[in-house]
Structure 1
Amino acid sequence: MKKIPYNSFFDHLNQYVPVSKKEFGDILSYFDERFLDKKEIVMHAGGPCTHIHLVLNGCMHMYFINEKGVERTVQFALENWWLSDFLAFQNKSNTDFNIQAVENTRILSISYEKQEQLLHEFPILERYFRTIYQIAYGASLNKVKHMFGLSKEEIYLHFTEHFPEFAQRVPQYLIASFLGLTPEYVSEIRAKKRS
C-alpha cells in the first residue's frame, strides 16, 4: 500500500461505493502517481490518449487550439475530479486535446489496461465510474444550456457564483476561454461588478 495519504480520494470513493481501507490499498496499486509543475502538459493533441487522470491536489485544464490558433478550454479539474478525453481513451485513439496543469498538481493516472484489470478485480467500481461519468455528462449539458440561454455577462456571473473555487484559483484568461469569452470582456465585467 502506498504511504502518501490519500484520505480525500478514499472519502470521495466512499461517497459512491463502499470501499474498505484494505481494498483501497489494493485499488491504489493500479494507479501511477505523478507530480506536475505548473503549465506542464500531461496529454498532447495528436497523440494517443492512454490514461485517465484523477486530481489529488491542484488544478488542470483540457483544451484544444482552434483553426485561428486560439486556445479553447473545454474542462477544468480540481481535487477528486477526473480528466481525460474519455472518448479517445475508450476507443484507444489519438486525441484532439491537451491537458495541462494550471498550478502545481499531484495526480493519479491509470491506463486503459490497468483500469480493465481494476474493474475486473473490484466490480463495484463499475458503479463508481458510471456515477461520476453521469454527473460529468449532466454538468456538460448544463454548460451547453447556459451557453445558449444566458447573455455573455450572465454566463460569467453564473460561473463565478456557482463555482467560486474555480474563480479564485484559475486565471481569468482561462475562465474566459472556457466560457467562450475574451479576456478583455471578462475584465470589463469584473470592473463593472466592482463599481
Structure 2
Amino acid sequence: MKKSSAHPFFDHLNQFVTISEKEFEIIRSYFETQNQKKKQLLMKANSPCDQIYFVLKGCVHMYFLTEKGTERTVQFALENWWITDFLAFQKQTNTHFFIQAIENTVVLSVRYGEYERLLHDFPQLERYFRIIFQIAYGSSIMKMKYLFDFSKEEIYFHFTEHFPEFAQRVPQYLIASFLGLTPEYVSEIRAKKRS
C-alpha cells in the first residue's frame, strides 16, 4: 500500500484502491479546493445539490431546520470524510440540508458532471466510492440502532467514548442536536457523571 506525505487525499485513496502519483495528479485536477471560515455555509437547503465534499482540514456538519426553526444535525465530517446530500446529489435535485463549517475548514469539491467523468476515466474509483458509501450506509444504520436501543444517557456516552475526536472538537449543542437530545439534558448528564 502506497503512502505519501504529498497529499492526504492521495493517502486516503490508496487505503482502498491503488492510485499512482501520476494518476493522482490527473484525479486532483477534477477537484476544486475551497477554504471555509467557521460558520460559513458550503451548501444551502432548497438549492441544487451538485457537489460532493472531501474534508482535508477542519470539521463540518450537515443539518436541516424543523418547522419550528430548530437545527437538527444529521452528520459530521472531519478530515478524510466525505459529505453531501447523497440522494439529492445522485438525483441532481434540490437539497433539504445545509452544510456548515464548525471550524475553519478546507475541502476538496467536485461537481456532478466532473464526478461522473472522473468515474468514467478512472474505473478503480467506482470501487473506492462503493466502499466509502458502504461504510457510510452501515454507520447510519448503526446510529438508528443506537437511537432505538439505548437510553438517552447511553447514547450520549456511547458517542463520546467511541468518537472522542468529535467530542473534543464539536460544540456540545451540536452533539446534542445530532443525538436528538437537548443541550440542557447533555449538560445535566455531564454534570451527573462528574459528581
TM-score for the superposition, normalised by structure 1: 0.96
Residue aligned with 2:189, SS: helix
Counterparts of 1:187 and 1:66 in 2: how far apart (Å)? 23
What is the aligned partner in structure 2 of residue 160 from structure 1?
A: 160
What is the CA-CA distance between 1:7 and the residue it aligns to? 2.3
Deviations 1:25-67, CA, capped at 9 Å, x for gaps: 1100000000000000010001110100000000000000011
Instruction: Name which of structure 1's ranges 138-147 and 10-19 shifts more when overlaid on structure 2.
Output: 10-19
Instruction: Tell me whether 1:69 sits opposite 2:101 in the alignment.
Output: no
Counterparts of 1:82 and 1:147 in 2: how far apart (Å)? 23
Counterparts of 1:152 and 1:17 in 2: how far apart (Å)? 39
What is the aligned partner in structure 1 of residue 41 from structure 2?
A: 41
Counterparts of 2:121 and 2:21 in 1: how far apart (Å)? 16
> How do 1:114-193 and structure 2 match up within 5 A?
114-193=114-193
**Number of residue pairs aligned between Structure 1 and Structure 2:** 191
Counterparts of 2:59 and 2:11 in 1: how far apart (Å)? 19
Residue aligned with 2:14, SS: helix
What is the aligned partner in structure 1 of residue 18 from structure 2?
A: 18
Q: 5+ unaligned residues in a row in structure 2: which ranges?
A: none
Aligned residue identity for 2:34: R
Residue aligned with 2:108, SS: strand
What is the CA-CA distance between 1:6 and the residue it aligns to? 5.2
Deviations 1:6-36, CA, capped at 9 Å, x for gaps: 5221111111000111111110000000000
What is the aligned partner in structure 2 of residue 57 from structure 1?
A: 57
Aligned residue identity for 1:145: K
TM-score for the superposition, normalised by structure 2: 0.96
Residue aligned with 1:35, SS: strand
What is the aligned partner in structure 1 of residue 9 from structure 2?
A: 9
Counterparts of 1:106 and 1:194 in 2: how far apart (Å)? 35
Residue aligned with 2:87, SS: helix
Counterparts of 1:29 and 1:69 in 2: how far apart (Å)? 39
Residue aligned with 1:25, SS: helix
- Which portions of structure 1, spanning 4 or more consecutive aligned residues, are displaced by more than 3 angstroms? none
Counterparts of 1:62 and 1:115 in 2: how far apart (Å)? 21
Aligned residue identity for 2:91: N
What is the aligned partner in structure 2 of residue 92 from structure 1?
A: 92
Over the residues paired in the alignment, what is the CA RMSD in angstroms? Answer: 0.8
Counterparts of 1:37 and 1:46 in 2: how far apart (Å)? 22
